[in-house]
Amino acid sequence: MRMHILTARTPAWAAAVAQASQLVNGPDFRPLKRSVRTVAGFLDVDGATVFIKRVDEGAWLKGWVRRLWGSRARRVIRGAAILQAAGFARPEPLAAAEARSMGAVRASYVISESLDGARVMSQVVLAGGRRRFHHRCAVLGAVAREIRRLHEAGVYTLDLQETNLMVTGGDGAQWKIHFVDLEDFRRARVVSMRRRMLNLVHLDRTIGRFLPRTQRLRFLYNYLGSRPEHDDAGRLLTRYFALHARAQRRAHVHRTTAATAKPPTARDETTASASPTQARAARQ
């Protein structure tokens, strides 16, 4: 296969991504995930720790379609540009490349910076135990306002989960939200209310693992900017929970289908010391 470099911050990173196939199989690579389709992990390059991810694009026909409509590597580049133009924090892609064969994209490679000190949303929210009510409210408020700002800027994502939201900084206004899974971000002239609600529903399904319903409603009201009037709140919540129930049913169908499918031939290898940023990125 021929490696086609899509972007590189410097010639050194271009040389690194050109050798990415060898790097992920080298002795210095620290794998976070190694499955049939995805290989992801850490590597120290010139004194800096970076994250390398390879994703197989599937069969030749699917790879040919990816060549036309955009491989995962191309979508990462596009998503990073969308977020940067709108003024949002995200890990910087250092280099990206496609492995091509007979005109089809067979694999995508992305090398990106690591987010030092960043933690997933749930770790920050629950830091210090469940008794730190004001701490949780501050973190949830910061995340809700940043997602509202994202939507108001005409940007949304196809996969908003709490593990896609990395948090750095300190209490109050010093919290900084970093968006990951860059390939899932899209731009719209105006983000519709339905798309906004879908993003919030997807996030609610993941924060529901560690937050009670009252605090999840508080998160929704923080996103809205204030608690709506009684009648407006009733209509909004009816629509919100209808979308939530639909998402739950689809997730149940997906799990049922996956359970009846043939099990994979290789198991994921996960290191306990991996950072949450790359843990989330590797799952995709």
Which pLDDT belongs to residue 280? 53
Is a pLDDT exceeding 50 seen at residue 152? yes
Q: Please, are residues 240 and 201 in contact by the beta-carbon 8 Å criterion?
A: yes
CA atoms of 64 and 239, how far apart (whole Å):
40
Stretch 1-18: mean pLDDT, rounded?
A: 91
Q: Cα separation of 167 and 180, whole Å?
A: 11
Integer Cα distance of 140 and 137 in angstroms: 5
Give me the CATH code for the 2-114 domain, please: 3.30.200
Per-residue model confidence (pLDDT) at position 268: 47
Label residue 267 by pLDDT band (50, 70, 90): very low
CB 148 within 8 A of CB 191: no
Sign of the Cα pseudo-torsion (139, 157, 184, 35, in order): positive
Helix ranges, 153-229 (H) = 193-207, 213-224
Q: What is the pLDDT of residue 80?
A: 95
Predicted structure pTM score: 0.77
How does the average pLDDT of the chain come out, rounded?
80
**Homologous superfamily of 119-259:** Transferase(Phosphotransferase) domain 1 (1.10.510.10)
**Which single residue is written with the structure tokens 């197989």?**
56
- The three-state secondary structure class of 43 is strand
Residue 101, strand partner residues:
104
Sheet holding 93-101, edge to edge: 2-8, 93-101, 104-113, 48-56, 38-45, 30-34
Residue 44 structure tokens: 């120290």
Structure token digits, residue 232: 């407006």
Residue 269's SS3 state is coil
The C-alpha atoms of residue 215 and residue 140 are separated, in whole angstroms, by 9
What would you report as the CA-atom Rg of the chain, rounded to the nearest whole angstrom?
Answer: 20
Distance between first and last Cα of the chain: 23
Are the C-beta atoms of residues 241 and 200 closer than 8 Å to each other? no
Alpha-carbon distance 99 to 67, whole Å? Answer: 11
- What percent of the chain is predicted at pLDDT more than 70? 73
- Report whether pLDDT(156) > 90: yes
Model confidence over 209-236: pLDDT tens digits?
888 888 888 888 889 886 655 455 556 5
Question: How is the chain split into domains, by residue range?
Answer: 2-114, 119-259
Residue with tokens 């105006």: 190
